[in-house]
Structure 1
């Protein structure tokens, strides 16, 4: 259940924030909200603006990624709340950006951060990867003892 709750919350927050940015902020417009600097950009590539024009291809990759995660969850090899959280953030982020890529051919980014401009889905994916690494380390230590 934790997996689904996190994934759905990430998708809803991501899509709602992107809708509001697209509806009310012009492309390349910069503003500050609650001390956070934001700029509306549209990215038709992947992270860091690499491979521009391939958004739909990355959307298909996201679909296969989500199928893979669902498969791993079904096998039951990876269990526990930590991996459920990790997979929830990863799947929510992949679906959030996948929706943009498949429907619009580009992803709406707006959160300025060192290294680029991201969105909620990108941050969710980063959290999911971080939790996956922690899960791997914990599992390694448990198997070692």
Structure 2
């Protein structure tokens, strides 16, 4: 259940934030909200504007990724709150950006950070990757202890 709650929250928060940015902020307009610098850009590629014009292809890849995660959740022995949280953030972020790519042919980004301009789905994916790394390390340590 945790997986679904996190994924749905990420999707909803991501899509609402992007909708508000698209409606109220002009492209390339920069402003500050609660001390966070934001600017509205539209990215038809992937991270950092790489591969511009391939948004729909990346949207299709996001669909395949989500199918893969759902398959892994059903067939693998990966269980527990940590992996469910990781997969929830990853799937929520993939769907959030996938919706933009498939519907609009580009992703709305607005959160300025060193290394580029991101959105909530991007941050969710980063959290999901971090949790996945933690899960892998914890699993490895548990297996190592079992051997000893």
Does the alignment reach a TM-score above 0.5?
A: yes
- The residue that corresponds to 1:11 in the other structure is 11
Matches within 5 A, 1:23-34: 23-34=23-34
Matches within 5 A, 1:27-46: 27-46=27-46
Matches within 5 A, 1:47-62: 47-62=47-62
Matches within 5 A, 1:89-104: 89-104=89-104
Q: TM-score, normalised by structure 2?
A: 0.97
Counterparts of 1:68 and 1:12, CA distance in 2: 22
Matches within 5 A, 1:55-70: 55-70=55-70
Matches within 5 A, 1:114-125: 114-125=114-125
Which consecutive residues of structure 1, in runs of 5 or more, have no partner in the other structure? none
CA RMSD of aligned residues (A): 0.4
Runs of 4+ with >3 A deviation: none
| TM-fit CA distance, 1:77 | 1.4
- 1:82-108 per-residue CA deviation (whole Å, 9 max, x = no partner) reads 000000000000000000000000000
| TM-fit CA distance, 1:76 | 3.7
Which consecutive residues of structure 2, in runs of 5 or more, have no partner in the other structure? none
